[in-house]
Structures are given as C-alpha cells and as structure tokens.
Amino acid sequence: MSTRMPVSPGKLITLEGIEGAGKSTLAQFVSAWLGRHGITVRLTREPGGTALAERVRQIVLERGAEPVSPITETLLMFAARALHVQNLIRPTLARGEWVVCDRFTDATRAYQGSGRGVDAALIDALALAVHGDLQPDCTLLLDLPVRAGLARARTRPGATADRFEAESLGFFEKVRAGYLALARREPQRFRIIDAAAPLAEVEQRIAEALAQLPARELRA
C-alpha cells in the first residue's frame, strides 16, 4: 500500500492590465521569484497556453475582413480558456505546481464586459461553466494611464497592432475602469500595482505582494 502524502494543490496567480502594462515582462519576474522561493511554476498565457488554444488566439486576435461581434469574441475567449483550464491549468495545479497566467477571466470581464458591453451575467455564467470553482488565488493588476500603456505597447520591438491594439483610447479607458472596479469588488484577491513606476520598483511591489501569500510551500 502506498504511504505517499496527498499533494496539496498549487496556486493560480494571474496578471492583468491594459496593453503595455508590463504583464508579459512581469509574469517572467513572478515565475523566477517563486522559483527562487522553492515553488515549481508553469508560466502560461491567455488567450492560448495549449496548442489548440493558441490556434483560437490567432483567430481572435487577427485583423481579418470578417467582423467578429462582442459575443463571438467572448465565446472564443472562453473556448480557448476551456482548453487551457482542462488540458494545462487543472493538471498542473493537481500536481502541486503553481500556474502563473498572463491574463485570465478578469480580462474577459474588463475587455468584453466593460469595454464591449457584453452582459456581466453572461460572462459569469460562462466562467462558471468553463472553470467552476477555480479562481485565481492572487491577481496582480498592473495599472497605468492608457496613453502610457499604449505608447509602450506600440514601441515594443516587432510590434504590430492586433485587433485590440487598434482600438480607441476611449475603449481602453473603459477597460482600465472595469479592471479597477473588479479590484475594488475583490480586494482580498487583487493587488493593484502602479505599473507606471520604473521596472525595478514594480518588481519590488510585486515581490512584496507575493511574500504575503498564505502558502506553506513558500521558502524565505
């Protein structure tokens, strides 16, 4: 008979924010920081994260001739998320590893909900169907003025504007406000980080937030 101790499930850490907030850059910092503190981490992103979900990402981000309505966009985000949750996130957490994810369902709430006007109740129903009781343990909201984020995103090496990056300032103002409203509603889960600060300062704030996570596995 096996005497192996049951594995305690890993934690899901998400990074959110408007374009150019620094999510991809800081997701790598979060993974490295957790690694140094004894945690095995899987770094991933949305939409995408698995082979099939990355194909859905291409469909939803590309600027093609065929219109994509807000509801279609929402369904595509959740189709990609369903693949990601089933085939990567849940199995990784079940092994006791942590998942660091560049965007998750809060992005749908902010972009499709606040930005495009899709009904919040519909988004909640899809979230329940796709990931049930799975919620991020901690969400780092990288907040900065829209103009600053877009300027960074547009001057990034090799940048080409996808369907979202081609949107107006007004759209991103609604997205930013939507994120801040989500953070106010769930202050335990969200940490709002001033992403307009120099990178070293942003990293310092994130390290402080991670050090406060209630996790036995975290080594000093």
Binding site for ligand T5A (CB under 6 A): 17, 19-25, 45-47, 77, 103, 107-108, 111-112, 152-153, 156, 164-165, 195, 198-199, 202
- To the nearest whole angstrom, how small is the minimum distance from the Cβ of residue 70 to ligand T5A? 10
| Strands across the sheet containing 12-16 | 41-45, 98-102, 12-16, 138-143, 190-194
> 45 or 215: whose CB is closer to ligand T5A?
45
Residues whose CB is less than 8 angstroms from the CB of residue 28 and which lie 6 or more positions away in sequence, other chains included: 43
Angle between helix 51-61 and 70-84 (nearest 10): 160
Cα–Cα distance, 109 to 46 (Å, whole number): 13
- To the nearest whole angstrom, how small is the minimum distance from the Cβ of residue 128 to ligand T5A? 15
> 41 or 150: whose CB is closer to ligand T5A?
150
Cis peptide, bond prior to residue 145, ω within 30 of zero:
no
> 1 or 200: whose CB is closer to ligand T5A?
200
> 16 or 215: whose CB is closer to ligand T5A?
16
- To the nearest whole angstrom, how small is the minimum distance from the Cβ of residue 95 to ligand T5A? 24
Cα–Cα distance, 156 to 16 (Å, whole number): 18
Backbone Cα Rg of the chain: 17
> 34 or 60: whose CB is closer to ligand T5A?
60
C-beta separation of 1 from 181 below 8 A: no
- To the nearest whole angstrom, how small is the minimum distance from the Cβ of residue 218 to ligand T5A? 24
- To the nearest whole angstrom, how small is the minimum distance from the Cβ of residue 35 to ligand T5A? 19
